[in-house]
Amino acid sequence: MQEIFAPLPPDPLGAVLHGLRMSGAFYCRSELTAPWGTAMPYLPDCVMFHAVVAGQCWLEVDGADPVLLQPGHFALVPHGRGHRLMSDPGVATPPLFDLPCEILSERYEVRRHDGGGAPTLLLCGAMIFDRPAARRLVSLLPPQIVVQTAEMGGAGRWQAVLQWMGEEARALHAGGEAVLTRLADVLVIQAIRHWMQRDPAARTGWLGALQDPRIGRTLAAVHQDPARAWTLETLATEAALSRSAFAARFLRLLGVPPMNYLAQWRMEVASARLHEGGEGIASLAAELGYQSEAAFNRAFKRHTGSTPGAVARAGAQRRAPAAH
């Protein structure tokens, strides 16, 4: 197998983590005294997190073991699954929206329950990741990720970020939502990195391919410039491999041929851009390398089962302000 020399690009997996920038973040501070419980709603396409500022609570996610959360823990529920939080196992968990609510801003609210017992202060958030690489990464995460400060490298820094988030949650000052969003960015990325370092599943499939020294740089090039007129030969050149060696290695790692992956990736980019809005279908088709809007529409329907117009309308509905 003959390999062609080419300089290695920046870390492809690091580029995906760098793209983890949330949008549509919403925060809830919960001031609770035992006994209490609440059921978090199903929120499609959302990643939810929970940080215990004071006290403790149990987290129950279907498909995962119950976990006791205490100060210093940070929990992710990546797939928008409904789940339950409670002071003690077996406590009733009525819907979150049944708890008394004080709305402090469009994206920040406080919910309270007075059971008369031990107090707990929680900060919870829901966020959406719109970039295609970020969405694909999130789809590969387990049902829950729970990180404890003591398990982290640089535990002092991790604890400091959690404490800072707790201080912002106790009293929302001017610019507090922006601070919470930046801190949540850091904590979410650190939690995902922690999982990737410990779970063998993070070294297989798409994530494993990103970490491959040859295929990873081809994926990075495609992600960076999906509209380029790629061919099997130019993709192989990015990997510094012959066409046959590249095609075999790509198929072994990702389970699909390179040109199929390219087409799928373009459709993921198109879906994200259509959800974001502000761009015509014809111009998007041209930007992604299609010669006509009709060709783009056919490819989009073939890969997603929906039309570009339907996806754009769904995105507009999602962006519309929700009535409280």
Q: What is the mean pLDDT of the chain?
A: 86
Q: Could you state, in order of their start, the residue ranges of all structural domains in the chain?
A: 14-199, 206-319
Q: What is the pLDDT of residues 84-129, one digit of tens each?
A: 999 999 999 999 888 899 988 888 889 999 999 999 999 998 988 8
Q: What is the pLDDT of residues 227-254, one digit of tens each?
A: 899 999 999 999 999 999 999 999 999 9
Q: What are phi and psi of 279, to 5 degrees?
A: -145, 135
pTM (predicted TM-score): 0.80
| Domain covering 206-319 in this structure, CATH number | 1.10.10.60
Residue 178 has what pLDDT?
Answer: 80
Q: What is the pLDDT of residues 57-66, one digit of tens each?
A: 999 999 899 9
Q: Which of 73-87, 133-147, 236-250 has the highest mean pLDDT?
A: 236-250
Spatial contact of 147 and 196, defined as CB atoms under 8 Å apart? no
Spatial contact of 233 and 239, defined as CB atoms under 8 Å apart? no
Return the CATH fold of 14-199.
Answer: Jelly Rolls (2.60.120)
